[in-house]
Structure 1
């Protein structure tokens, strides 16, 4: 909770996702890092202009994703982009290395000055389109300690998905139990709850179960939050991570629209 409060205080953050185009080594790589960086910085500035609370840099264009460790060229590219974003905006910056390379995300965060990471599977085991992904809490939290990034007020916060989207648990697990395990046994600083897939809203009942299991720890919405769901879901969470709803025309790969950011920010009060 101390790391969370250091980042956001008593605010309920609206975290805008910077979807990076394909990076070096991925099938869709276009060969121009300067263009990737320019696009990332433009989106970051649009989030700032619209009043977002934080931004999250993510290698969304690198599909198909590695289930665990990404190659060095991905880490290097994300380090370059993350550093540029940190130096450009005055907001907290987070890192997500898909599909589940928490070690790479932490390394990029420490090197760039980013302040939090998102980990899709911190605890438990999930069956995904990348195969079986197992939790990485044990090595990740030890790595955070070794990198001196685990300070109570100045460390890198870990926000972890619980029963993450585009995946199914290896064995049935109630949401409140999964949340308890992720926080108490996995060491997360906050949890993220999503619908079944990108852009799909989470059910209010699921959010209530997550809040019950969190016992006061931060619970964020990780998908499907937008103008159509803000009034219904907003009061049930401590923060939101948003991408598609904040792009021009609501299309995933369009640039971020600062007017959409401002409009959603006005619907999601601190």
Structure 2
């Protein structure tokens, strides 16, 4: 039995993203609406996701565009405030994602009792955000130093808007990532948020590392989730839950329920 079944209580869990609005320091922060607006939008999405029946939720600074690879402290502080205010209303397992900084993500997880993080933790990439380097050894040691050994680490091995600098195929990357880093899960993505993950790539990764949890990380919809879950051990889902299926909108509870109805047919 994978750890996911123990944590979420189901096979092939759906982790829904709770995308936080721009926060202080972000280029598109709404100073007039302030942090109260950020909290209220997050509360709306959290409750819609929970009412819709998802298995877990992950809080992310998704609208902190363009992203940093070293997140600033004001972002971590703002995210901690939002999650802290909502904590009494959270009824399902939750994690965090400070884009794109695994150290900041671990710090936030420890502060708010998050059960998992998802990040780019290993590899070197050419990306829209510049040359993107990582230091998985430093991240692993920081995890131990702050007492985060029980925080599950989901390694995104196909980062959005970026390409691995070395000429290596996805199976090689999956195999060596598992050997060198012992990730709790691998996440396989499409090109951008909302872009469908290639089922053939998912299959290749899962066949390469059958004893490791593999998540479909982007682009699942009501019409493809059964196909994706026939291969993947779960999915991280966001855009399809939004009003009209648009990335920038708030969550539509009806769309969540319809999606989860399809998921339950798989289980």
TM tier, shorter chain? over 0.9
Aligned twin of 1:74: 75
Q: Distance in 2 between matches of 1:227 and 1:244?
A: 11
Whole-angstrom distance in 2 between the partners of 1:85 and 1:133: 33
Residue 121 of structure 2 is aligned to residue 122 of structure 1: yes
Measured on the aligned residues, the alpha-carbon RMSD in Å equals 1.6
**Contact between 1:82 and 1:108, CA under 8 Å: does it hold in 2?**
no
Question: Quick check: 1:164 aligned with 2:156?
Answer: no
Q: Distance in 2 between matches of 1:104 and 1:149?
A: 12
**Are the equivalent residues in 2 in contact too, given 1:158–1:190 (CA < 8 A)?**
yes
1:44-193 matches, within 5 Å, as 44-66=46-68, 68-98=69-99, 100-119=100-119, 121-150=120-149, 155-193=150-188
Aligned-pair distance for 1:64?
1.2
For the Cα contact (< 8 Å) 2:2–2:213, is it kept in 1? no
Q: Classify 1:126/1:21 alpha carbon distance in 2 versus 1 (closer, same or farther; 3 Å).
A: same
Q: What is the TM-score when the length of structure 1 is the normalising length?
A: 0.92
- On the 8 A contact 1:161/1:191 being kept in 2, the answer is yes
Q: Give the distance between the partners of 1:138 and 1:86, measured in 2 at CA.
A: 31
Q: Which residue does 1:239 correspond to in 2?
A: 234
| Distance in 2, Cα, partners of 1:117 & 1:85 | 18
CA distance in 2, matches of 1:65, 1:53: 27
1:248 aligns with 2:243: yes
Query: Structure 1 residues 87 and 172 mapped into 2: Cα distance closer, same or farther (>3 Å)?
Result: farther
Question: Residue 30 and residue 82 in structure 1: after superposition, are their counterparts in 2 closer, same or farther (change >3 A)?
Answer: same
Q: Aligned equivalents of 1:6 and 1:136: distance in 2?
A: 30
With 208-217 and 102-111 compared, the bigger mean Cα shift is at 208-217
1:190 Cα deviation (Å)?
0.2
Q: Deviations over 1:75-119 (max 9, x none)?
A: 100111122333311111111111x21111111110011110011
Instruction: State the Cα distance separating 1:9 from its structure 2 match.
Output: 4.6
**Which one of 182, 191, 197 corresponds to residue 192 of structure 2?**
197
Say how many residue pairs are matched.
Answer: 263
Structure 1 runs not aligned, ≥5 long: none
- How far residue 266 of structure 1 moved from its aligned partner, in angstroms, is 1.5
State how far apart, in whole Å, the 1-side matches of 2:136 and 2:8 are. 23
Return 136-145 or 47-56, whichever deviates more: 136-145
Q: Distance in 2 between the 1:114 and 1:108 partners? A: 8
Secondary structure of residue in 2 paired with 1:236: coil
- TM-score, length of structure 2 as denominator length: 0.93
